[in-house]
Amino acid sequence: MARRASPLMPRLAVSAVAIIVSTPRGGISTKGAGKLYFSPNLAQDCDQRSDNQGDGDKMKSFKHAALAATLAVGTVSMAQADTVSVGMITTLSGGGAGLGVDVRDGFQLALDMAGEHNIRLVVEDDAQRPELAVQIAERMIQSERVDILTGIIWSNLAMAVVPSAVAQDILYLSPNAGPSALAGANCHPNYFNVAWQNDMLHEGAGAYANELGYENTFIMAPNYPAGTDALNGFKRYYEGELAGELFTQVGQTDYAAELAQIRASGADSIFIFLPGGMGISFMRQYEQSGLDLPIVSAAFTFSQDMLPAVGAAALGVFNASQWSPDLDNDANQEFVAAFRAEFGRIPSLYASQGFDTANLILSAAAKADVSDRDAFRQALLEADFASVRGEFAWGPNQHPIQRVYIREVVEVDGEITNRIIGTAFEAHSDVHGENCNM
Amino acid sequence: MTLALMLEQLLNGVQFGLMLFLMSAGLTLVFGVMGLINLAHGSLYMIGAFLCAAVAGATGNFWLGLMAGIAAAAAAGALIEVVVIRRLYDRDHLDQVLATFALILILSEGVRMVFGPFPLYLNVPDMFRGTVNLGIVDYSLYRLALIGFGLAVAVGLWALIAKTRLGIRIRAGESDREMIAALGVNIRALYTVVFALGAALAGLAGALVGAIQSVQVGMGEPVLILAFVVIVIGGIGSIKGAMVGALLVGVIDTMGRFLLPRLFALFLDTSQAMGVGAALASMLIYLLMALILIFRPKGLFPANG
Amino acid sequence: MDNARKEWGLNAILALVLFAVPLWAWLANEPFIITLATRVAILAIAAVGLNIALGLGGMVSFGHALYLGLGGYVAGIAAHHAFNGTPVLGLAGTNQMLPIWAIAMLVSGAVAGVVGALSLRTSGIFFIMITLAFAQMGFFFALSWPAYGGEDGLPIFMRNQFPGMNTSRPWDLFVIAYGVLMVALLLFALLRGARFGAALMAIRQNPDRAAAVGISPFGIKLTAFVLSGMLTGLAGAMMADLTRFVSPAMMAWTMSGELIVIIILGGVGRLFGPVAGAAILVGFEVFFGGLTEHWKLWLGLVLLAVVLFARGGLIGLIAGRARHG
């Protein structure tokens, strides 16, 4: 066994590096550290699998898989000289998996719809654990040699990964998390947030709570950077009294103690930020608790990834969002139709953010060579792509300035989904940009 | 802070404690009779929850799901006992810890392979939907039913051990293993039955809790650690100890998380009090366990004297 | 004698391979392989620490992640304050590895002293459980104490410095970790060969007889437990610098389990057992993790097979049974 250890180590290089395979559509798919993504589209999936296996054996004869990867791209796609390597670290297992899967699917869909392109994508599951995300980022930078990192869902994981990655001259494009620390003093030319700064949608919820006449709201969020940002964002615009303020644990599944405190607080309404599995668990227990207070929220807690599991309990809830499946613009209608055709479900806002992120990268890759970081950053700043949210503009801290809508959870043709009923802010930007000196 | 809030939190603590008791009872039986530390007990809890969610989802009937969950956990327990655990009875605790740690890896990954990485959600059975009025507070009917279930199982377990032939053998096995083998009891079969019984209780707990929370891979481990705290506090091998320990842990944990931040808020500002209070509250039961072990190294109700 | 020679040969090969592979990677410009080798070395240091308590002293500590995490947080907190230029407990933060290591060992040693003094009153499963309880206390404290990131963990933006080395280069960091590992192994070998080690092993094998010949089990065991915690704490400080990140996960009970797994895979009480075990664990994760998403299933099966059929671990498999029990 010990003597075998020596030949084993070089082979690690092969297994740890993504192997690139051409797909029938002409796009580039990847098979990397084993935790990679296969499209649920079955026909394509089978093709990819067989291709992967066929090429996988050949690949093993290469001593350096990184070299092999370059060769494969050179011979297969050959249209562009320079491939953009994108590492996606996202949550694909556990209570937060719905969000990561949607970001990944939206991103992949944009690549598929673009047809011929020069993006190499490696996807890996962070299981919503910061220490794991840090390790994956290190491997993607050192072993996969990615140019761009993206995909992180949770702000605490973003805080662990992003500062060190951008310092190593890796571009980071956030498709979801937007912690205030990275929007203000710690902003960085290599960090672009394609979704929103965390506070933004909660500010919309706060403003709308005033409009609804709520005067005594109980507010609650998980204890991590996005939770703090959520409560701060809500309080920045909300003018009524607070019946209570609670931080819960990240990933918490039992909310009996919180429900008891809400019941005892005499609140007239509730504001919650509980994305993914947390929101599902909370809403199901809320339904059983006998409490019947109106809920106002941001899109995260009433997003399409969780509405089927929450069911009728969510109907009538108002939530603030920069995007909605019924948003009426060409890019969005095309996206929603293609997503439904490909995956058989309505896209969530996470899917829309993944889709926009991929299209932003594609637009920059068409203009600039990624190895010239200055030029590529400039191309990203031009934002020359059709965002599914409509107009897209960068603020000074490289976070979007955008319209914030109010949506209502409704049932349409037997499906529970969101519908836009109004606008909270036009051209809204976050408050942290003024602390950013780039 | 009202009386109604205190009562509701107390009920939450008791409900949590009784679910912990279902977990701990199997763990403590297995240690008491076979002298085995089973880290994989949390995996049986997970299996019960997954099978219940899958069958209830497919048939639309919670009770069928519950039966399936219990049966699957018991079957998995029996299988594990025959294939692996049986070889560990004569080994030291280190080997037992490691082998059952390996079983956690295998079972968690196996469940992930079969059911996928997404959480499953179980619906509360229709007859237990909504709330019930307890005079000063409305309380979730299902949580109240969980308290009832937990107490019923406790009584049933007591009857099983005190009144039946199987119970006599279990008690004999706890006090003198060689003796009952010499008396002609099929000790191998007894061990398998005891292990499967413990597994069924864990599966029952998983299925019951799964209906209000979410059913996901890894759900068993936090509960497993708490169940160990329970049986160490109560005295390993003692069902009575497990009951007392479970209620202590359930109530102290729930009330600690609720009251400590308020206590600190009396002399710290709110956000500091929330932080310090939450930090201390989450350590409280481990502090309790360490204190009990220091002053009563064999727990509150040491088995076998 | 033959087995002992085989074991020494195997040890030499392990030491050589652990140096040669990253050296090759350095020349071939494969920084990730160097990072992996550094992880192996640091995990091995932690496991050498645990091996003092578990292998020599027979104390099954199911809470050694506590010391790993304490060391990690010492490094993280010192670097955090050095980076922000703020004092901690009236002292300035530091970004120098050597003083950080000293503090990490002091802190984890002190905590191990308290935990050991209380836990050694118990034995058997109760010892396993009480060490677990103390580690869980640390875990939940780190998880919910907001000052240093709580659940989010604490990033280290700049690696701490070592005189004469550039720690941001993977190769330099590896050389440091390898050097410390060799010193730790030397220490373990000296300890095992000394009167102290003999007394410790005598207590493990027969506490009553040891007491009869005038050895105080409590004092010796406690000393071993403290040394063990200190070494694991040192590894924690280095681990924090390797990953540039500290989080409560370093104190999780699964981490304690992994440390035990490393020792078992390599061989309990063997000098190079931790090195072999750490290499197997990391290699398994990277190699099989590259082949299948479900590599943990296979790790579980291998671990189960080792416990059931190959109790001596890798070194026992190759070099045969140890001379001493």
Cα–Cα distances (Å) from A126 to A35, A90, A251, C268, in that order, read 10, 6, 14, 32
Q: Chain B residues contacting C, CB < 8 Å? A: 31, 37, 84, 87, 93-95, 97-99, 101-106, 108-110, 112-113, 221, 225, 228-229, 232, 236, 275, 278-279, 281-283, 286-287, 289-290, 293-294, 297-298
Residue C192's nearest CA partner among C200, C181, C184 is C200
Please report the pLDDT score of residue C122 as a whole number. Answer: 85
Interchain pair A94, B216: CB under 8 A: yes
The per-residue pLDDT of chain A, averaged, comes to 83
A333 interfaces chain C, CB cutoff of 8 Å: no
Domain boundaries, chain A: 5-196+330-394, 199-321+402-435
Q: Check whether C196 has a pLDDT greater than 70.
A: yes
pLDDT tens digits, one per residue of A40-68: 333 333 333 333 333 333 333 333 343 33
pLDDT tens digits, one per residue of A200-225: 999 999 999 999 999 999 999 998 88
> Is there a domain that residue B62 lies in?
yes
Dihedrals phi, psi of A424, to nearest 5 degrees: -85, -45
pLDDT bin (cut points 50, 70, 90) of residue A117 is confident
Q: Check whether C33 has a pLDDT greater than 90.
A: yes
Q: Check whether A8 has a pLDDT greater than 50.
A: no
A156 interfaces chain C, CB cutoff of 8 Å: yes
Q: Check whether A35 has a pLDDT greater than 50.
A: no
Q: Which of A284-298, B75-89, B257-271, C43-57 has the lowest mean pLDDT?
A: B257-271
Six-digit token string for B235: 């005295």
Interchain pair A35, C289: CB under 8 A: yes
Q: Which residues of C touch B278 (CB under 8 A)?
A: 144
Q: Where are the beta strands (DSSP E) in A293-336?
A: 295-298, 318-321
Interchain pair C137, B294: CB under 8 A: no
Q: What is the rounded (10 degree) CA torsion for A10, A13, A14, A17? A: 180
Contact B97, B39 (CB under 8 A): yes
> Is there a domain that residue C83 lies in?
yes
Residue from the list B124, B214, B274 with its beta carbon closest to the beta carbon of A281: B214
> Is there a domain that residue C325 lies in?
no
> Is there a domain that residue C324 lies in?
no
Please report the pLDDT score of residue C282 as a whole number. Answer: 93
Mean pLDDT of A370-386: 95
The per-residue pLDDT of chain B, averaged, comes to 90
> Is there a domain that residue B35 lies in?
yes
> Is there a domain that residue B179 lies in?
yes
Q: What is the SS3 assignment for B128?
A: helix
Q: Check whether A94 has a pLDDT greater than 90.
A: no
Residue from the list A245, A257, A264 with its beta carbon closest to the beta carbon of B254: A257
Question: What's the predicted TM-score (pTM) here?
Answer: 0.86
Contact B205, B45 (CB under 8 A): yes
A22 or C203: whose pLDDT is higher?
Answer: C203
Q: Which residues of B touch A247 (CB under 8 A)?
A: 274, 278
Mean pLDDT of B73-78: 97
Q: Which of B168-177, C95-104, C200-209, C275-284 has the lowest mean pLDDT?
A: B168-177
**Of A38-42, C102-106, C309-313, highest mean pLDDT:** C102-106
Q: Does domain A199-321+402-435 have CATH number 3.40.50.2300?
A: yes
Distance CA B67, CA B49 (A): 11
User: What residue type is B297 in one-letter code?
Assistant: P
Q: Which of A241-250, B136-145, C212-221 has the lowest mean pLDDT?
A: C212-221
Write the DSSP string, B41-71.
HHHHHHHHHHHHHHHHHHHS-HHHHHHHHHH
Please report the pLDDT score of residue C321 as a whole number. Answer: 67
Contact A103, A195 (CB under 8 A): no
Six-digit token string for A106: 């939206």
Mean pLDDT of B79-104: 93
> Is there a domain that residue B132 lies in?
yes
Q: Which of A71-85, A382-396, B194-208, C258-272 has the lowest mean pLDDT?
A: A71-85
Interchain pair C125, B293: CB under 8 A: no
Q: Check whether A10 has a pLDDT greater than 60.
A: no
Please report the pLDDT score of residue B1 as a whole number. Answer: 56
Contact A145, A85 (CB under 8 A): yes
DSSP state, residue A380? H
Best of B2, B8, B128 to mutate (most A CBs within 10 Å, chain A): B8
- Total CB pairs under 8 A between chain B and C: 121
What are the start-end ranges of the H helices in B84-211?
Answer: 93-115, 141-163, 165-175, 177-182, 187-210
Distance CA A53, CA A10 (A): 21
pLDDT tens digits, one per residue of A348-359: 999 999 999 999
Residue B253's nearest CA partner among B206, B228, B287 is B287
Mean pLDDT of B277-282: 83
A434 interfaces chain C, CB cutoff of 8 Å: no
Q: Which residues of A touch C243 (CB under 8 A)?
A: 131, 134-135, 138
pLDDT tens digits, one per residue of A294-331: 999 999 999 999 898 888 889 999 999 999 999 999 99
- Number of folded domains that form chain B: 1
Q: What is the SS3 assignment for C245?
A: strand
pLDDT over 90 for what percent of chain A?
A: 67
Mean pLDDT of C218-237: 96
Interchain pair B118, A98: CB under 8 A: yes
Write the DSSP string, A33-50.
SS-----S-HHHHHHHHH
- Integer-rounded Cα radius of gyration of chain C: 19
Q: Check whether B90 has a pLDDT greater than 50.
A: yes
Mean pLDDT of A237-245: 94
Contact A184, A433 (CB under 8 A): yes
A74 or B20: whose pLDDT is higher?
Answer: B20
Q: Which of A52-61, A316-325, B264-273, C175-184 has the lowest mean pLDDT?
A: A52-61
pLDDT bin (cut points 50, 70, 90) of residue B14 is very high
Strands A400-412 and A269-272: unpaired
Mean pLDDT of B74-99: 93
Mean pLDDT of B49-60: 95
Residue C237's nearest CA partner among C32, C115, C70 is C70
A251 or A417: whose pLDDT is higher?
Answer: A417
Q: Check whether A2 has a pLDDT greater than 80.
A: no
Distance CA A343, CA C62 (A): 45
Mean pLDDT of A243-265: 90
Q: Which residues of C touch A156 (CB under 8 A)?
A: 151-153
Distance CA B293, CA B300 (A): 9
Please report the pLDDT score of residue C121 as a whole number. Answer: 86
Residue from the list C124, C140, C261 with its beta carbon closest to the beta carbon of B101: C261
Interchain pair B290, C130: CB under 8 A: yes
Interchain pair C20, A10: CB under 8 A: no
Residue B142's nearest CA partner among B155, B158, B153, B131 is B131
Q: What is the SS3 assignment for A30?
A: strand
Mean pLDDT of A417-434: 94
Best of C16, C17, C32 to mutate (most A CBs within 10 Å, chain A): C32
Task: Look up the domain containing B172 and give its range.
Answer: 12-217
Please report the pLDDT score of residue A438 as a whole number. Answer: 82
Residue from the list C54, C128, C133 with its beta carbon closest to the beta carbon of B290: C133
Six-digit token string for B227: 């169940």
Q: What is the SS3 assignment for A208?
A: helix
Please report the pLDDT score of residue B180 as a whole number. Answer: 74
- Number of folded domains that form chain C: 1
Stated as kind and residue range, the H or E segment containing A87 is strand A84-90
How close does chain C come to A168, measured CA to CA in Å?
11
Please report the pLDDT score of residue A75 as a whole number. Answer: 38
Mean pLDDT of B66-80: 97
Residue A130's nearest CA partner among A175, A160, A98 is A160
Q: Is C212 left (phi over 0), alpha (psi -120 to 50) or beta?
A: alpha
A1 interfaces chain C, CB cutoff of 8 Å: yes
Please report the pLDDT score of residue A65 as a whole number. Answer: 40
User: What residue type is C299 in one-letter code?
Assistant: L
Q: Check whether C324 has a pLDDT greater than 60.
A: no
Residues 212-231 of A with CB under 8 A from B: 223
Mean pLDDT of A409-420: 94
How close does chain A come to C262, measured CA to CA in Å?
15
Interchain pair A280, B119: CB under 8 A: yes
Mean pLDDT of C315-324: 71
Q: Which residue of C has its CA nearest to A124?
A: C293
pLDDT over 70 for what percent of chain A?
A: 82
Helix C217-243 with C65-84: angle, nearest 10 deg: 50
User: What residue type is C14 in one-letter code?
Assistant: L
Q: Which of B151-165, C189-203, C234-248, C289-303 has the lowest mean pLDDT?
A: C289-303
- CATH architecture designation of domain A5-196+330-394: 3-Layer(aba) Sandwich (3.40)
> Is there a domain that residue C49 lies in?
yes
Q: Which single residue is written with the structure tokens 């440091």?
A: C176
pLDDT tens digits, one per residue of A260-302: 999 999 999 999 999 988 999 999 999 888 899 999 999 999 9
Which domain CATH number covers C89?
1.10.3470
User: What residue type is A367 in one-letter code?
Assistant: K
Q: Which residues of A touch C292 (CB under 8 A)?
A: 34
CA C227 to chain centre: 12
Please report the pLDDT score of residue B270 as a whole number. Answer: 76
Q: Check whether A136 has a pLDDT greater than 70.
A: yes
Interchain pair C283, A8: CB under 8 A: yes
User: What residue type is A339 in one-letter code?
Assistant: F
Coarse DSSP helix, strand, coil percentages of chain A, rounded to the nearest 5 percent: 45, 20, 35
